[in-house]
Structure 1
Amino acid sequence: MFGLIGHSTSFEEARAKARSLGFDEFADGDLDMWCSAPPQLVEHVEVTSRTGKVIKGAYIDSVFVPEMLRRFKTAKRKVLKAMELVQRSGIDITALGGFTSIIFEDLNLLREERISAVQLDWQRFTTGNTHTAWVICQQVERNAPKLGIDLARAKVAVVGASGDIGSAVCRWLQRTGVGELLLVARRPQPLVALQESLGEGRILPLEEALPEADVVVWVASLPQSLTIDTDSLKRPCLMIDGGYPKNLDTKAAAAGIHVLKGGIVEFWQDIGWQMMELAEMAVPERQMFACFAEAMLLDFEDIHTNFSWGRNNINLAAMDLIGEASLRHGFKSLGLEPASSSSPALSIA
């Protein structure tokens, strides 16, 4: 059995979700009440692979909202209590999604081995980052040529290159053979270490990397205050929004700039669930975050272990394995053209 730990994108959206699910006491509560509220197992689901295998899963809402990010103790408690509920529910493998994964890594929750009376079993959890990185690389490889971009000669900027997903994307694209990698991140020292491990790549500040790039893979958080000079960008330019939340399209809307929601996949058939409709997916019956899909894939493959775990531990062999499983069981990365007949176009042209 697989599990998915998620959360709402805002407090107001969370209250609306609570009301739609019949949790009126949550819908009427203020932020302080939500800070003390326990996680909720809100939905069970059954999923059938293209191979015919059937698995069962559950969605756990951590009752966390982004407005709690500055309340570090609250954020930490929300994630750990959700993990405790997962383990008490006997779920074999669970993916941390959205900010729950970020909180887990940034606050180093591995130090917290016991929650209440439960000894946490780390083998039951995965960040889903390996599948996310693989999906983003597929989006680059499949969509750049559609815009006339030859990856063998293209400059690809990876913003957030020293992070878990960013470094994995760099290693994959190096193997693919792109023209040049442009490495961008806030802290210089991890970038230098990444550059040394790759044996290539040019370290640049963001404002210098963007005008040079044919492709931009954005896997860092996008500050609200950031502005992008779209007049300085190449035409065409493919931008993969692999961060969270996905709001790059609001910063880079211009003719010839194609912004694609990164790290999202579409399943081969409809799934009878509500959770992705609440996550504002374009085709909520089939689409989901790639990190969530990793938990499903691991359950389909009977790999009940923390497949993606720790920072910068993703390797190409693991990306190959999860990618092959993704295709076999019926997942497809979002592209510039609609992934299904009901999908809207995702490019800005």
Structure 2
Amino acid sequence: MFGLIGHLTSLAHAQAVAKDLGFEEYAEQDLEFWCSAPPQIVDNIKVTSITGQQIEGRYVESCFLPEMLAGNRGKTAVRKILNAMAHAQKYGIDITALGGFSSIIFETFNLSQMRQVRNIQLEIERFTTGNTHTAYIICRQVEEASRKYGIDLSKATIAVCGATGDIGSAVCRWLDTRTEIKDLILVARNQDRLVELQAQLGRGKIMGIEQALPLADIVVWVASMPKGMEIDPSTLKRPCILIDGGYPKNMSTQIQQPEVYVINGGIVEHSLDIDWKIMKIVNMSTPARQLFACFAESMLLEFEGWHTNFSWGRNQITVENMEKIGRVSIKHGFKPLIA
């Protein structure tokens, strides 16, 4: 059985969803209540591969909210994710993906060192960040969107914003070895990590966001924190492709400019309907088919019987593993969302 650990985008969103799901005691509560609310399994899922194989899973709502990252609530965010992981393990879920900020919190606060959650010793091999599949899908979106919108990659400049993060560095490695592009621009807040990444790649220009945007034919946005770098749409080239790999995804509403094509990065579409309700509450346009690539990774690992932490640690994603998860993604009927 596979699992998905997720969270909602804000307190208001959480209150509305709780009401829709019948959790009336959660619907009218403030942030302090949500800080103490326990994780809940709120959806049972069935997924059928195009091979005919069928698997079952559970969605674990962590009750974490992005507002908990503000101020002095870091310990609350850590507790939320650890409790959700323990809840998944308690219910015998074999492989669980950490969605949204769950994986960011895990890496930022080094939760792999915090194995004991009350009476449960976390078995880390039961969990995956899903970042390898997400990075693969974003790279495929770059390749397919460039063909769709007439941008020749061999003449293109691609800026990766959030380049030193787990997903961003993997995207850079793929673009460096698998895709023939003219120039690669590396954008992130930590200059030491940028210099290290540049040395590993043997290429890439280090720039600030203000310098990079006017030069980029394609912008891959995988900056990892809820607040930080922002895009000024007036500085973007025309035409330009913007791959929004953040969460929540809101660039398509914030940036509505002629010849600026915004793609929801890291989203896949399955060939067959998935029996679940959870994607309706995160506003997927086709909730029976579309989902986050990190969630799809746990499904793929369950399909293949790979009950292991396929994506784990910071900046450990290899192009070889991206290709490996990509092959089984295609095998079971997932494809990058481009529309």
Q: Describe the SS at the equivalent of 1:152.
A: helix
Residue of structure 1 in register with 2:86 after alignment: 84
Number of residue equivalences: 336
Q: Which runs of 4+ in 1 moved over 4 A?
A: 221-227
Q: Work out the CA distance in 1 between the residues paired with 2:18 and 2:247.
A: 22
Q: Decide whether the 8 Å contact of 2:9 with 2:66 is kept in 1.
A: yes
1:205 CA displacement:
0.9
TM-align CA RMSD: 1.4
Residue of structure 2 in register with 1:109 after alignment: 111
1:218 CA displacement:
0.6
Q: Describe the SS at the equivalent of 1:166.
A: helix
The one-letter code sitting in structure 1 at the alignment partner of 2:97 is A
User: Structure 1 residues 51 and 65 mapped into 2: Cα distance closer, same or farther (>3 Å)?
Assistant: same
CA shift digits 1:80-118 (9 cap, x unpaired): 000000110000000000111111111111110100011
Q: Describe the SS at the equivalent of 1:144.
A: helix
Residue of structure 2 in register with 1:249 after alignment: 252
Residue of structure 1 in register with 2:309 after alignment: 306
The one-letter code sitting in structure 2 at the alignment partner of 1:82 is A
Q: Choose which of 285, 297, 300 in structure 2 pairs with 1:297.
A: 300
Q: Work out the CA distance in 2 between the residues paired with 1:174 and 1:323.
A: 17
Q: Work out the CA distance in 2 between the residues paired with 1:314 and 1:203.
A: 21
CA shift digits 1:294-331 (9 cap, x unpaired): 00000001100000001100001100010011111011
Structure 1-normalised TM-score? 0.93
Q: Which runs of 5+ in 1 are unaligned?
A: 337-349
Q: Choose which of 122, 128, 131 in structure 2 pairs with 1:129.
A: 131
- Give the fraction of aligned pairs with identical amino acids, expressed as a percent: 57
Q: Decide whether the 8 Å contact of 1:17 with 1:278 is kept in 2.
A: yes
CA shift digits 1:209-258 (9 cap, x unpaired): 11011111010047668654433322110110011221223443211111
Residue of structure 2 in register with 1:174 after alignment: 176
1:231 aligns with 2:237: no
Q: Decide whether the 8 Å contact of 1:222 with 1:247 is kept in 2.
A: no
Residue of structure 2 in register with 1:29 after alignment: 29
Q: Choose which of 304, 313, 334 in structure 2 pairs with 1:331.
A: 334
Q: Describe the SS at the equivalent of 1:142.
A: helix
User: Structure 1 residues 95 and 228 mapped into 2: Cα distance closer, same or farther (>3 Å)?
Assistant: closer
Q: Choose which of 197, 206, 210 in structure 2 pairs with 1:207.
A: 210
Q: Work out the CA distance in 2 between the residues paired with 1:138 and 1:230.
A: 24
Q: Work out the CA distance in 1 between the residues paired with 2:59 and 2:85.
A: 12
The one-letter code sitting in structure 1 at the alignment partner of 2:106 is F
1:144 aligns with 2:146: yes
Q: Decide whether the 8 Å contact of 1:160 with 1:166 is kept in 2.
A: yes
Q: Describe the SS at the equivalent of 2:308.
A: coil
User: Structure 1 residues 73 and 140 mapped into 2: Cα distance closer, same or farther (>3 Å)?
Assistant: same
Residue of structure 2 in register with 1:8 after alignment: 8
Q: Work out the CA distance in 2 between the residues paired with 1:36 and 1:225.
A: 27
Q: Work out the CA distance in 1 between the residues paired with 2:226 and 2:55.
A: 38
Q: Choose which of 205, 215, 218 in structure 1 pairs with 2:221.
A: 218
Q: Work out the CA distance in 2 between the residues paired with 1:162 and 1:41.
A: 33
The one-letter code sitting in structure 1 at the alignment partner of 2:114 is E
Q: Which runs of 5+ in 2 are unaligned?
A: none
Q: Describe the SS at the equivalent of 1:104.
A: helix
The one-letter code sitting in structure 2 at the alignment partner of 1:272 is D
User: Structure 1 residues 227 and 185 mapped into 2: Cα distance closer, same or farther (>3 Å)?
Assistant: closer
Q: Describe the SS at the equivalent of 1:3.
A: strand
Q: Describe the SS at the equivalent of 1:64.
A: coil
User: Structure 1 residues 225 and 126 mapped into 2: Cα distance closer, same or farther (>3 Å)?
Assistant: closer
Greater shift in the superposed pair: 247-256 or 82-91: 247-256
Residue of structure 2 in register with 1:68 after alignment: 68
Structure 2-normalised TM-score? 0.96
Greater shift in the superposed pair: 20-29 or 265-274: 20-29
Q: Decide whether the 8 Å contact of 2:165 with 2:224 is kept in 1.
A: no
